[in-house]
Structure 1
Amino acid sequence: MNKKNEYALITGATSGIGYELAKQFAKNGYDLVMVARNHDELKTKADEFKSCGVNVITIAKNLFIEEDAYALYSELKLNGISPSILVNDAGQGVYGKFQDTDIHREVDIVNLNIVSVIILTKMFLKDRLPKGSGKILNLASIASKAPGPWHSVYHGTKAFILSWSEAIREELKDTGITVTALLPGPTDTDFFNKADMNESKIMEDKDNFSSPEEVALDGYNALMNGDDKVVSGLKNKLTVAMSNIATDSMAAHRMAEMQKPVNEK
């Protein structure tokens, strides 16, 4: 296998879609900078990827905290590492009616899903623009395409990520740096459990969830092609097409019916 001697920096790299993306990069000869909160999980996954014959650097950071996002890039600089690919995968949601949910948790989610992403992307661009090359993959979601009652803050953060990704992509079009947004639908990861969504009606359809492997492969291929965005999975493409022709209030009502608790009338 060809060693590319290029690093891919991946947040949320120890589980779910982030882990599967890390696997794609390792299989294709990219060295990895893996970022997650848990030291032990990072070490376990790093040992696994090293068996692909690539270098793996692990950095434990809590991206709910903006200082940790800045510190991550400082550590890379100190070690003379300039990743040519940035994958902003880490993200969380919180389930429930906005009037009832914990504001501190929601502010944390905004910090993780938006603030850390724009900090890491800014640092990546400052590093890569003089080199004239680089690729960015931002995890949006089909949630970015419709308002999400019962999951309102998460949907709002992903709408931001999609809009902002499209905007900076246009700004960067003559720089040699591409920006790609990956829009998965419901995927079989620990996301719903972390978001306390086990009572949601959406979980009744769990057999039809995408696998994180499929989503990662779609994202990897779109990134390598320099595509602006990819909706992963046929069912999700149909969902997005329906959202695009519905009014926002219709889309919100439909999403509420899909996401409300099973016992809610």
Structure 2
Amino acid sequence: MTSHTSKGTALVTGASSGIGAVYADRLARRGYDLILVARNEERLKTVARRIESETGSKVQIFPADLTDKSSLAKVEALLRDDKSISLLVNNAGIGSVASILQADVDKITDMITLNITALTRLTYAVAPAFVSRGGGTIVNIASVVGIAAEMLNGVYSASKSYVISFGHSLQKDLADKGVRIQTVLPGATATEFWDVAGYAAQKTSAITMSADDAVDATLIGLDNGELVTIPGLHDGDAWDRWETDRRELSKKFSNSKPALRYGVKATAAA
């Protein structure tokens, strides 16, 4: 066991495996105590025991199904009330590769509940608490398919587009209040996500990144002050150009008359 001086507590959702478990490990090694949230209690216990023995961090497990309202409410209350929490990693999520003609709409609705509703409610719970505590960090895990929308299931892609847009808004609302927001866009990552999504072969694809590499890159991005981190994007300036073009385009939407290409004879406003 190593000596340990806490930087506060990090709450990580989806922490029983994959990216979430790696986040838990890396944050403990950076000096955080942990609250680990996931459905699978036995897996959480295994992760917690290993991290405690290797790092000396205090690790609390909090088994919860974030698609269940009562379970979600308990995590929200924890984020509001536990003054030691200084970092939230909204990692829990599920995906799909099925088209609209193949997917089960009930499972898709569960995806929306976890990927959007739970992430939103946890953020809304902790953001005011961080402001009152004088600071904190929220890391929201999106995906490159939030931009490359045609790659996987459309609702999954849309849920990650939501996380990206939500992050921009949070950065605008909270930047001057001492709360940091980082939006992370992993590409294909070698985790059980692909087993659940229905395409296990992706885990061994030549374009698939290890969870360790993805999280290590993301944490360095956080250290460097990135608002949006894309571990697999080698040309970092490409994102800056994309963002500049998006913001410039947004200035051109507000007009009282339809564009000439529609051939509409504009009428005066009432």
Q: Identify if the C-alpha distance between structure 1 residues 45 and 58 changes in structure 2 by more than 3 Å, giving closer, same or farther.
A: same
Structure 2 counterpart of 1:10: 12
For the 8 Å contact 2:4–2:57, the answer to whether it is kept is no
Structure 1 counterpart of 2:38: 36
Structure 2 counterpart of 1:86: 88
**TM-score (structure 2 length as normaliser):** 0.81
For the 8 Å contact 2:79–2:125, the answer to whether it is kept is no
For the 8 Å contact 2:190–2:204, the answer to whether it is kept is no
Q: Deviation at 1:241?
A: 9.4
Aligned residues, how many? 240
Q: Deviation at 1:150?
A: 4.6
Task: State which structure, 1 or 2, has the greater radius of gyration over its C-alpha atoms.
Answer: 2
Q: Deviation at 1:238?
A: 10
Structure 1 counterpart of 2:72: 69
Structure 2 counterpart of 1:193: 195
For the 8 Å contact 1:184–1:236, the answer to whether it is kept is no
What SS does the corresponding residue of 1:67 show, helix, strand or coil? Answer: helix
Aligned positions of 1:155-174 closer than 5 A: 155-174=157-176
Q: Deviation at 1:181?
A: 0.7
What SS does the corresponding residue of 1:96 show, helix, strand or coil? Answer: coil
Identity within the alignment, %: 29
Q: Distance in 2 between matches of 1:128 and 1:150?
A: 35
What are the superposed Cα offsets for residues 129-158 of structure 1, whole Å, 9 maximum, x if unpaired?
111110011101111112225511110000
Amino acid aligned to 2:24: A
Q: Unmatched 5+ residue regions in structure 1?
A: 245-265
Q: Unmatched 5+ residue regions in structure 2?
A: 244-270
Q: Distance in 2 between matches of 1:81 and 1:204?
A: 38
For the 8 Å contact 2:79–2:122, the answer to whether it is kept is no
Structure 2 counterpart of 1:227: 226
For the 8 Å contact 1:76–1:82, the answer to whether it is kept is no
Q: Distance in 2 between matches of 1:60 and 1:236?
A: 39
Q: Distance in 1 between matches of 2:124 and 2:96?
A: 27
Q: Distance in 2 between matches of 1:157 and 1:119?
A: 14
Q: Deviation at 1:108?
A: 0.3
Amino acid aligned to 2:160: K
Say what the alpha-carbon RMSD is for the aligned residues: 2.5
For the 8 Å contact 1:188–1:212, the answer to whether it is kept is yes
For the 8 Å contact 1:114–1:160, the answer to whether it is kept is yes
Q: Distance in 1 between matches of 2:136 and 2:97?
A: 35
Structure 2 counterpart of 1:121: 123
What SS does the corresponding residue of 1:172 show, helix, strand or coil? Answer: helix
**TM-score (structure 1 length as normaliser):** 0.83
What SS does the corresponding residue of 2:206 show, helix, strand or coil? Answer: helix
For the 8 Å contact 1:142–1:240, the answer to whether it is kept is no
2:142 to 128, 133, 140: 140
Q: Distance in 1 between matches of 2:93 and 2:66?
A: 9
Q: 1 or 2 for the larger relative contact order (CA 8 Å, sep ≥6)? A: 1
